[in-house]
Amino acid sequence: MKPLLFFLFLFFNSLYPVLSQSTLLETVKKNPNEAENLCNKFREFNSKGISASSDQAIKYISNKKKLTPVNAEIFSIYVIGLHCPDII
């Protein structure tokens, strides 16, 4: 019985980052104003010759949303794909 409980604990713990990431992406989908603000910031970066996938842009998203750099990159790709495809 203990091995089964241990396995279930590990399994559900491994799903937590996936579930939290999905929730984060849903917040942008439900709040287009936040996404538009981020698009404007990405456009500002682009006007300075900085790509939205650059370390500087990812660090901005990471700090603003309190995300790891990997999650910030996923988040920015999602925002760009959904709300501002003109961003590079």
* pLDDT tens column, 13-64: 444 444 345 687 888 888 889 999 999 999 999 999 999 999 999 999 999 9
Q: Evaluate whether 42 touches 80 at the Cβ level (below 8 Å).
A: yes
Q: Evaluate whether 73 touches 25 at the Cβ level (below 8 Å).
A: no
Q: Which residues, 6+ apart, have CB-to-CB distance to 30 below 8 Å?
A: none
Q: State the residue range of the domain holding 71.
A: 30-88
For residue 38, being part of any structural domain is answered with yes
* pLDDT for 11: 47
Q: How many domains does the chain have?
A: 1
* pLDDT for 18: 42
For residue 19, being part of any structural domain is answered with no
For residue 3, being part of any structural domain is answered with no
For residue 13, being part of any structural domain is answered with no
